[in-house]
Amino acid sequence: MRILKRALLALAALVVVLVVVALGVIRYVGAWNLVFPNRTHEVEPPALPDARALPHPAVLVFTKTNGFRHVEGIAAGRALLEDVAARRGWHLFPTENGAVMRPDLLARFDAVVFLNASGDMFDEAQERAFQEWLESGGGWLGVHAAGDGSHAEWRWYVDTLIGAGFIGHPMGPQFQTARVRVEDATHPATAALPATFDHEEEWYSWDRSPRLAGMHVLATIDETTYSPIARIFGSERDLRMGSDHPVAWTRCVGRGRAVYSALGHAAAAYDVPENRALLEGALAWALGAEGEGCGEDR
């Protein structure tokens, strides 16, 4: 009997250890909110500099993750944006507080970056405030997870800024090097890029080309240069979009400028010269610092 009790205690201890380790791994890889969904919507906004003291151009860098958290990608992306801002005289304000989406607060910013922001981030009033701010002449840059499937319930966002439904990314392997083809070499986001370049990424697929929703495509990916298949536990899911597989695009939303890039999962992506140039040019356009605008100036 004593031997049985000891064995049961040892088994229980092992189970506890395994659970603790598993939870630690889930949190470490950023998947905590996938396992334990979070719908927290802040009501008290972050403290912002006084409107008269906030220098322009001002950029709100938003990194809230009620979905998967790209821990390393967010940190590296922020570092890149800080470097670009320092060189170009732009001013960044980082936050993960969704209550910043308020008309009087958004009015202090010239552009908003959703840097791997994910999940159900805002309540309806906050969503409406962002939409109205963008339509009235704001600028938006979405990076990687800003275009994943965690935003599906915010229909205006998906239909207007992404233009298609997210269907997944490859697994087995998850990260692959593929060839990116620049389609518009004149846009500020892509003007500094070569006609083609190879990039290692977690490549997103959507249920249709965002081009069909009216997006102006900046770059596509050549599906013949990687394997767009999700292999999980012996099963396979075909993620191929065909010859038209955009990975970066823009759109005018009212008087607002919106640009999205699917590149930027891992920290290493933000060290790649082509991606750095893409994000810098995209933000310059979103700010109205370069390129043609969308209707009358703000």
Q: In whole angstroms, what is the distance from residue 20 CA to residue 82 CA?
A: 36
Confidence of residue 141 (pLDDT cuts 50, 70, 90): very high
| pLDDT at residue 18 is higher than 50 | no
For 247-261, write each residue's pLDDT tens digit.
Answer: 999 999 999 999 999
Mean pLDDT in residue range 115-124: 97
| pLDDT at residue 94 is higher than 70 | yes
Percent of the chain with pLDDT over 70: 87
The CA-to-CA distance between both ends of the chain, in Å, stands at: 80
Mean pLDDT in residue range 102-116: 98
What residues contact residue 113 under an 8 Å CB cut-off, 6+ apart?
59, 60, 61, 62, 81, 140, 141, 142, 143, 283
At 43, which amino acid appears?
A: V
Residue 281: name the closest of 296, 298, 263 by CA: 263
Letter string b/e over residues 146-174, b meaning 16 or more CB atoms within 10 A of that residue's CB = bbbbbbeebeebbebbbbbebbbbbbeee
Mean pLDDT in residue range 113-130: 98
Q: In whole angstroms, what is the distance from residue 201 CA to residue 176 CA?
A: 6
- What confidence score (pLDDT) does residue 8 get? 62
| pLDDT at residue 298 is higher than 60 | no
Q: What is the largest CA-CA distance in the chain?
A: 83
3-state helix, strand, coil in the chain (%, to 5): 35, 25, 40
Helix (H) or strand (E) holding 114, with range, is strand 111-115
Q: In whole angstroms, what is the distance from residue 27 CA to residue 146 CA?
A: 20
For 53-63, write each residue's pLDDT tens digit.
Answer: 788 999 999 99
Mean pLDDT in residue range 77-89: 98
| pLDDT at residue 278 is higher than 70 | yes
* 100, HSE (Cβ side, Cα atoms, 13 Å): 23
Q: The tokens of 42 are what?
A: 């802040």
For 192-246, write each residue's pLDDT tens digit.
Answer: 999 999 999 999 999 999 999 999 999 999 999 999 999 998 899 999 999 999 9
For 21-33, write each residue's pLDDT tens digit.
Answer: 443 444 444 454 5
Q: In whole angstroms, what is the distance from residue 8 CA to residue 134 CA?
A: 60
| pLDDT at residue 276 is higher than 80 | yes
- What confidence score (pLDDT) does residue 53 get? 72
* 41, HSE (Cβ side, Cα atoms, 13 Å): 11
For 147-200, write each residue's pLDDT tens digit.
Answer: 999 999 999 999 999 999 999 999 999 999 999 999 999 999 999 999 999 999
Average pLDDT, the chain: 91
